[in-house]
Amino acid sequence: MAKTPDDIIRDDIRALSAYHVPASAGMVKLDAMENPYSLPADLQVAIAARIKAAALNRYPDPSAAELKQRLRTVMNIPVGVELVLGNGSDELIQMLALAVAKPGAVMLGVEPSFVMFRMIAGFAGLRFVGVPLTADFSLDADALLDAIRTQQPALVFIAYPNNPTGNLFDADVIARVIAAAPGIVVVDEAYHAFAGASFMPRLAEFPNLLVMRTLSKLGLAGLRLGLLAGRSDWLNHIDKLRLPYNINVLTQCVAVEVLQHEDVLNAQAATIRSERTRVLAALQKLRGVTVFPSDANFILFRVAEAGRVFDGLKQRGILIKNLHGSHPMLADCLRVTVGTPDENARFLEVLTTLC
């Protein structure tokens, strides 16, 4: 007797709703922390030449040696630190979760934070423990240290800066968390380019620290490339879970080319940071809008009725992210990605008519 999907698929998977990506064709797209700029024409030509020469009939270099070397330079990876690459950092989160998923094992994070931590914990069969942030979205040191003592998490994730709140947590509290944690602590630095703070130089200080980065928010979201840096005694095991050719030929050759022009990415990040300052100041002037400080390429703000403002923006062709309903602390909160000066001006102009 044949079984139905309801018989075969895990209950927890059937209960999930699929990750919803809204249609964005023709919209001013300020919902996904993408870099709004394309690459300069001469770099596009150099990329095209690399793609033309790429051996698509061959499997990629499984160790991605040239790409790793480039990343070491561009990301200032300390000497002696090991690297594992992922098809986006989401894949690295998944590899880490699978690696520690003994029966009863715990992944600990803070809330609100990046939703994929909790999601992937579920996929891997880990119990997720979310420790609430304080009302101003900073780390609650006592609650965190308490949860670490009682839950003994195999894996802790801290986004630095945090998504969706945009702030950098207190580095001293993070250091105390790393020192107190019995297992791995991953500091997720997806927004490093906009922050000017990092745990990368402190890897030698903490044997259980791993630092995660991605090229996605830096202007290469379409390539899907993330990296995990840390001690080989952890990463040698994580690497066994990596599917053999997870970084494809095109991602490798395009990333190698673009990373030879890190000045281009750095200049774009600098423009985004100065636009962030401008948009933040403009939002602060709007009555009925509460703005939260940001060290990332997006800004979290609260309005009287998030749903109405979100819909109003959407009707006028501007797509941002409505966080209302995703967590009690994010009631009536919206998140806007910093775009080009034109996109930001358009966003602010329409928002002004709605607040």
- Strand ranges (E), 39-190: 82-86, 106-111, 127-132, 155-159, 184-188
The residue within the footprint of ligand PLP, chosen from 124, 190, 193, 255 (CB under 6 A), is: 190
Residue 224 CB, shortest distance to ligand PLP, in Å, is 7
Query: Whose Cβ is closer to ligand PLP: residue 163's or residue 252's?
Result: 163
Determine the Cα–Cα distance for residues 306 and 300; give it in Å rounded to an integer. 12
Nearest distance in Å: CB 337, ligand PLP: 11
Cα distance between the two ends of the chain? 60
With 0-12 / 13-18 / 19 or more C-beta atoms within 10 angstroms meaning exposed / middle / buried, residue 132 is middle
Query: Is residue 84 helix, strand or coil?
Result: strand
Stretch of 82-90, 131-139, 141-149, 238-246 contacting ligand PLP, by CB under 6 A: 82-90
Cβ partners under 8 Å of residue 100, min gap 6: 107, 126, 154, 155, 183, 184
- CB of 115 vs ligand PLP, minimal distance in Å: 9
Q: Indicate the residue whose CB is closest to ligand PLP.
A: 88
Residues 193-232 that bind ligand PLP (CB under 6 A): 214, 216, 221, 226
Residue 165 or 344 with smaller CB distance to ligand PLP: 165
Q: Among residues 269 and 354, whose Cβ is nearest to ligand PLP?
A: 269
Helix axes 262-285, 341-354, angle to 10 degrees: 20
Q: Please say which residue, 89 or 167, places its beta carbon nearer to ligand PLP.
A: 89
CB of 305 to ligand PLP, least distance (A): 26
By C-beta, is 178 or 212 nearer to ligand PLP? Answer: 212
Instruction: Candidates 71, 75, 89, 351: give the one binding ligand PLP (CB under 6 A).
Output: 89
Task: Scan residues 96-155 and list those touching ligand PLP (CB under 6 A).
Answer: 114
Residues 32-51, one symbol each (x = binds ligand PLP by CB under 6 A, - = not), give -x------------------
Tell me the helix, strand and coil percentages in the chain, rounded to 5. 45, 15, 40
Cα gap 353→355, rounded to integer Å: 6
Between β-strands 290-291 and 226-230, what pairing exists: parallel, antiparallel or unpaired? unpaired
Closer CB to ligand PLP, residue 251 or residue 344? 251
| AA identity, residue 119 | M
**φ and ψ at residue 56, rounded to 5 degrees:** -75, -15
In terms of CB distance, is 105 or 116 closer to ligand PLP? Answer: 116
Question: How many residues form the binding site for ligand PLP (CB under 6 A)?
Answer: 13
8 Å CB contact between 94 and 120: yes
Count CB neighbours of 115 within 10 A: 15
Amino acid occupying residue 187: V
**Identity at 99, one-letter amino acid code:** A
CB of 225 to ligand PLP, least distance (A): 7
User: What distance in Å separates the CA atoms of residue 1 and residue 9, rounded to the nearest whole number?
Assistant: 16
Identify the residue among 188, 275, 295, 343 touching ligand PLP (CB under 6 A): 188
Nearer to ligand PLP, 88 or 230 (CB): 88
Phi, psi (deg, nearest 5) at residue 35: -75, 130
Nearer to ligand PLP by C-beta: 114 or 234?
114
Instruction: Choose the binding region for ligand PLP from 83-91, 170-178, 285-293, 306-314 (rule: CB under 6 A).
Output: 83-91
Tell me which DSSP letter residue 25 carries. T
The contact mask relative to ligand PLP for 266-305 (x = CB under 6 A, - = no) is ----------------------------------------
Nearer to ligand PLP, 31 or 188 (CB): 188
In this structure, the dihedral spanned by the alpha carbons of residues 116, 118, 122 and 124, taken in order and rounded to 10 degrees, is: 60
Question: What is the binding site for ligand PLP (CB under 6 A)?
Answer: 33, 88-90, 114, 159, 163, 188, 190, 214, 216, 221, 226
